[in-house]
Chains A and B, each alone.
Chain A
Amino acid sequence: MKGQILEMVLILGLIMSLLLVSVVSTVNGLIRVEGIASGYVAQEEALSSGIDYARYLIANGTTQGTLSLPQGTVEVVMNTPNVVGNVYEYYDVLIIYTPKFGSRVIWTVELVRDSVTLSSWVISVEGGST
């Protein structure tokens, strides 16, 4: 008799464990969905970091690099600059943000640098998701 009760307890325990595992898995999935809201703030940070990183790359004479952030990675690629008046260097910068969860976001940023005083300005930003 005692053996039968133990058997039943074990079976019910097993069923409840399975139920609990599926619930935890579902809730985790939903929490990721809910994370979309915070994802927009993360995008703003990624764009700002990408622009700062582009300035850093220009100062170091390179045209591409990848930055790791807590929320994902930011890849920066730019072309050889178009130079006006031998002073103003216009760069078309591609900033690709790949978050840990969610889809990629790509921005095209036009950045101009004065090669004499090394001041730089962002003069155009266009965004899009993939």
Chain B
Amino acid sequence: MMSKLRGIALIEIVATLLLVALFLTTAYAMLVEITNFISKIVDPMPVYSLLSTRMNTIKKDINDSLLFKVEENQIHYILKNGQRAVYDFNQFNQWFSPKYQASATVIQTQSNNAIVTWQFTTSRNSRLYGTTVLKKVTQAVPVPKEIISTSGGVIINLYNPAVGIGTASSISAQVNTRYANAAVLTTTASLINKTSIAGQNIYYSVFVSTATKPVAISLPSLYGVDNSYTYPVEVLVP
């Protein structure tokens, strides 16, 4: 009877120890997994935050530009005032702290977007990698933003500069002007207010030569630096 009781007690102790061992092992394994998981996410967070800020700046610059182009891992873009600027992704590692090993590659997939593939290795040897799409949402279409009647004609200031009027390669065109007495005359509209980018002339205004103030002008297509264009319309002169 006594030995039977001892046997049962022994089984009970062994079972208890096994359960405790199982519990401790499971808890330890989970703790290690959780720690690794948290480290993997938290370790690259500061650099990810810096990267997001940088990418947002690049996106804004590209959106505000007239035109952008990717060449040899560099994004070349032209500002509205005609100035040229560049983001060099060969220098990507210099944008961040030296404690990160960083590299990036940029390719242009369409005329209005580029894809940046980037990679970081942290000091704790965690790798962070991904892609960012840089999409140019804006278009550089030369829409009229202001129509001013002046001596000798009408000046139409453009929101974005134009490279052509009537056709993409012409800087002047014959246009119809309508007057209060219903008369319609033909006159010359010329692109003015010129600057130059990369050997190409761009113009910020249209001058329509008229002897007297017209009521309306039949404006032909205006072509922008990114090949976008307006359709022919009749605009009223205020």
What is A's interface to B at a CB cutoff of 8 Å?
A: 1, 4-5, 8-9, 12, 15-16, 19, 23, 26-27, 30, 33-34, 36-37, 40-41, 44, 47-48, 51, 84-88, 90, 109, 112, 114, 116-117, 119, 121-127
Residue contact B160 to A12, C-beta cutoff 8 Å:
no
Cβ of B184 < 8 Å from any Cβ of A? no
Cβ of B15 < 8 Å from any Cβ of A? yes
Residue contact A112 to B137, C-beta cutoff 8 Å:
no
| B:70-89 near A, CB below 8 Å | none
Residue contact B147 to A84, C-beta cutoff 8 Å:
yes
The number of inter-chain residue pairs (CB within 8 angstroms) is: 108
Number of interface residues of B (CB under 8 A): 49
Residue contact A33 to B30, C-beta cutoff 8 Å:
no
| B:208-238 near A, CB below 8 Å | 219, 228, 230-231, 233-238
Cβ of B151 < 8 Å from any Cβ of A? no
Cβ of B141 < 8 Å from any Cβ of A? yes
Residues of A within 8 A of B38 (CB): 30
Residue contact B138 to A8, C-beta cutoff 8 Å:
no
Contacts A16-B26, A19-B30, A27-B37 given; does A127 touch B133 at CB 8 Å? no
Given A12-B23, A112-B143, list of 12 further CB < 8 A pairs?
A4-B12, A8-B16, A26-B34, A30-B41, A37-B130, A84-B144, A85-B156, A87-B234, A87-B235, A114-B230, A114-B233, A124-B64
Nearest B-chain residue to A117, judged by Cβ: B231
CB distance from B80 to the nearest CB of A (A): 10
Residue contact A85 to B12, C-beta cutoff 8 Å:
no
Residue contact A84 to B146, C-beta cutoff 8 Å:
yes
How far is A109 from B139 in the complex, measured between Cα atoms in Å? 12
Which 8 pairs, one residue from A and one from B, show the smallest C-beta to C-beta distance? A85-B235, A86-B236, A117-B231, A116-B233, A121-B141, A121-B139, A125-B63, A87-B233
